[in-house]
Amino acid sequence: MAGESETLGLHAAKLGKRFSSKGGDVQALEEVDLEVKQGGFMSIIGPSGCGKSTLLRAFSDLVEPSTGEISVNGKMPAEARAAREFGVVFQSPNLLPWRTVLRNVTLPLQVMGVDRPTRNQTALEMLELVGLGSFARHHPWQLSGGMQQRVAIARALSTNPSVLLMDEPFGALDEITRDRLNLELMRIWGQLSATILFITHSITEAVFLSSQIAVMSSRPGRITELIDVNLPYPRNTETRDMPEFYELVIEVRRALVEASAVAS
């Protein structure tokens, strides 16, 4: 259908969000325009409190925008949520300690009413994909932080979403584990060709993963710069040694310093 591919992916136009509370109002987002094309990998980087999570939560139907428009694969977030168009991964894995790894991953499918053999099979496939097939019968507390985060990714992928919304998923991990999971995420992204919106505070992580980086200013959050990352895919350990990688790191750092300097 003509034009359909243009509506796929993520779109925000003049998006604003104002939180009102007893302590006063906070303008978290103002006039945010953003487009992540279908199959694209967009990272958002910006100073703490600039509204990155608010933006991601607006896409995932957890925050109601005050102004502007927002869509996921051409649908309003609530519709997209009902249609299981997206999966969400947060900084903390939020696994249920009394359920096994397998039964944490099957949870969204159980909620959807998928029968037990099918949901077990799908969950096992997702656990294999994140390299945890042999830990299906373990409980979350028997896994390391990085492994728990991989379970959370498997859970988000279990409903086969075409969009993945990730809010600092590797923020609590040590650098070596983070590098390893970045490689894994690249592999998974290559296999699933999903659209990814990824929030991070790490410049090197953003450059390594993304096809584009959006830099946000201090509150109220606005996109101040869009940086194309024209490093070849598939990205691997050699990518981090390329001179172009360092040039991009320097460029993103400069953009971030400028964005942080904008008065809030």
Ligand X SMILES: Nc1ncnc2c1ncn2[C@@H]1O[C@H](COP(=O)(O)OP(=O)(O)OP(=O)(O)O)[C@@H](O)[C@H]1O
Q: Can you give the binding site for ligand X, defined by CB under 6 A?
A: 19, 21, 26, 28, 46, 48-54, 219
SS3 223: strand
**DSSP, residue by residue, 56-88:** HHHHTTSS--SEEEEEETTB-HHHHHHTT-EEE
Which partner, ligand X, Mg ion, none, binds residue 126 by CB below 5 to 8 Å per kind? none
Q: Which is nearer to ligand X, 54 or 158 (CB)?
A: 54
Scanning the structure block, which residue is given the tokens 């201090």?
Answer: 218
Which partner, Mg ion, ligand X, none, binds residue 51 by CB below 5 to 8 Å per kind? ligand X
> Of 166, 105, 159, which Cα lies nearest the Cα of 132?
105
Tokens of 258: 């400028």
> Of 196, 203, 227, 230, which Cα lies nearest the Cα of 214?
227
3-state secondary structure 171-205: CCCCHHHHHHHHHHHHHHHHHHCCEEEEECCCHHH
Among 11, 28, 51, 53, binds Mg ion (CB under 5 A): 53
Which partner, ligand X, Mg ion, none, binds residue 103 by CB below 5 to 8 Å per kind? none
Which partner, Mg ion, ligand X, none, binds residue 12 by CB below 5 to 8 Å per kind? none
Which partner, ligand X, Mg ion, none, binds residue 73 by CB below 5 to 8 Å per kind? none
Q: Which is nearer to ligand X, 49 or 133 (CB)?
A: 49
Q: Which is nearer to ligand X, 89 or 102 (CB)?
A: 89
Q: Which is nearer to ligand X, 25 or 241 (CB)?
A: 25
Minimal distance in Å, beta carbon 17 to Mg ion? 13
> Of 61, 8, 62, which Cα lies nearest the Cα of 35?
8
Kindly report the backbone phi and psi dihedral angles of residue 230, in degrees, each rounded to the nearest multiple of 5, phi listed first.
-95, 45
Minimal distance in Å, beta carbon 50 to Mg ion? 9
| Part of the chain binding Mg ion (CB under 5 A), chosen from 52-60, 92-100, 141-149, 174-182 | 52-60
